[in-house]
């Protein structure tokens, strides 16, 4: 084993085996390392909210005093979104991402009920929002020109909305993609990647921003079926995380092939809803359904690797969770 991990693991073991340090003792190096962790953003279906959570805290409580919740957003009760009927369209929040454009940061969020939104962080101002319909919207992406892509699973499509035209712009182009679950803009290839049930596709964005088009450049058959999550590998630019109903893969965009990766034998598992590595520490974050949870596709506990750990949202029903860090794109 090379790199910082032996030192980190040695510090963790030393903490477990040694007596409590005095108040004047130097800070523990393992705790100092954990304090560098990026925050985590989670789509919580129980609370109909998106929470930004402390990455170095093992338990969070969205309703308690020592909450560990840094910031939250919900479409419920937002007068600015009342025309989009959040009571029905904000059902089952399904995606949450951090993106940056023009020096501003945004929360990107979708819900299975059809709402898709780009919300200013931390001011919560709505950049763009739309009711995408009953296609089970599962993922969203903000493009450099200000337009917004969404993927809908039962709808079987990827749409590119001309969001640069205004906060309620509904003009869009659509590409059919059965089982569409993930969409991701890759600044390295300058392509929009989309994940369906059986294939990963690379899309070129054509035309002006007020009338965009999509052209399929590459179609790659998935190693196993039912593609689900699609995200950048922060520690390896030019690679994408790809999950299916059976496994977790990494895909090299330049070579256009699936490749092996460190910890694959431990990280790869069925039904992973989201995965990503922290661009600050390299730690891997996984959201996977929790056996016995009241929501069959949700979890109250997230799993981390290298170093290993768990993070629990009390009374939560998280669907996807990601590192709240710009480098995670």
Domains of the chain: 41-328 (2.130.10.10)
pLDDT mean over 50-69? 92
The average confidence (pLDDT) of the chain is 91
Q: What is the pLDDT of residue 150?
A: 98
Q: What is the pLDDT of residue 67?
A: 86
Coil/strand/helix, residue 164: helix
pLDDT band at 71 (very low <50, low <70, confident <90, very high): very high
pLDDT higher than threshold 60 for residue 217: yes
CA dihedral 141→203→133→319, nearest 10 degrees, is -50
Q: What is the pLDDT of residue 196?
A: 98
Strand partners, 115: 131
pLDDT band at 328 (very low <50, low <70, confident <90, very high): confident
**How many C-beta atoms lie closer than 10 Å to residue 192's C-beta?**
23
Torsional sign, CA 272, 278, 284, 285: negative
Q: What is the pLDDT of residue 239?
A: 98
Coil/strand/helix, residue 305: strand
pLDDT band at 12 (very low <50, low <70, confident <90, very high): very low
Chain segment 144-175, per-residue pLDDT in tens:
999 999 999 999 999 999 999 999 999 999 99
Residue 9 has φ and ψ, to the nearest 5°, of -65, -40
Share of the chain above pLDDT 90, in %: 86
pLDDT higher than threshold 50 for residue 142: yes
User: What is the value of pTM for the model shown?
Assistant: 0.89
Structure token digits, residue 245: 């109903």
Q: Which residues are CB-contacts of 151 (< 8 A; sequence separation ≥ 6)?
A: 137, 138, 139, 140, 157, 158, 177, 180, 181, 182, 183, 194, 195
Q: What is the pLDDT of residue 99?
A: 98
Question: Do 251 and 240 touch, CB atoms closer than 8 A?
Answer: yes
Coil/strand/helix, residue 108: strand
Q: What is the pLDDT of residue 4?
A: 43
Rounded to whole angstroms, how far apart are CA atoms 75 and 118?
11
pLDDT band at 32 (very low <50, low <70, confident <90, very high): low
Coil/strand/helix, residue 309: strand
């Amino acid at each position: 084993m090379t790199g910082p991990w032996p030192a980190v693991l040695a510090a963790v073991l030393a903490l477990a085996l040694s007596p409590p340090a005095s108040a004047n003792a130097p800070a523990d190096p393992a705790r100092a390392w954990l304090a560098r962790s990026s925050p985590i953003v989670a789509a919580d279906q129980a609370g109909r909210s998106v929470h930004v959570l402390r990455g170095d805290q093992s338990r969070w409580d969205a309703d308690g005093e020592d909450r560990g919740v840094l910031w939250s957003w919900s479409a419920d009760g937002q007068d600015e979104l009342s025309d989009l009927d959040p009571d029905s369209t904000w059902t089952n929040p399904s995606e949450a991402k951090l993106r940056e454009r023009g020096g501003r940061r945004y929360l990107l969020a979708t819900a299975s009920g059809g709402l898709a939104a780009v919300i200013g962080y931390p001011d919560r101002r709505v950049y763009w929002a739309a009711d995408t319909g009953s296609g089970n919207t599962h993922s969203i992406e903000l493009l450099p020109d200000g337009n917004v892509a969404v993927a809908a699973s039962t709808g079987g499509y990827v749409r590119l909305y001309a969001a640069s035209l205004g906060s309620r712009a509904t003009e869009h182009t659509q590409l059919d993609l059965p089982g569409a679950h993930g969409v991701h803009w890759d600044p390295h290839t300058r392509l929009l990647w989309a994940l369906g049930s059986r294939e990963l596709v690379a899309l070129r964005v054509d035309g002006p921003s007020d009338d965009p088009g999509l052209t399929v450049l590459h179609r790659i058959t998935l190693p196993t079926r039912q593609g689900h999550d699609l995200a950048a590998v922060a520690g390896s630019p030019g690679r994408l995380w790809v999950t299916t109903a059976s496994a977790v893969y990494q895909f090299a965009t330049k070579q256009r092939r699936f490749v092996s990766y460190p910890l694959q034998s431990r990280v790869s598992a069925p039904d992973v809803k989201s995965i990503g590595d922290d661009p600050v520490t390299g730690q891997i974050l996984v959201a996977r359904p929790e056996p016995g949870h009241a929501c069959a596709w949700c979890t109250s506990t997230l799993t981390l690797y290298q170093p290993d750990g768990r993070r629990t949202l009390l009374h939560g029903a998280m669907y996807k969770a990601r590192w709240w860090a710009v480098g995670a794109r």
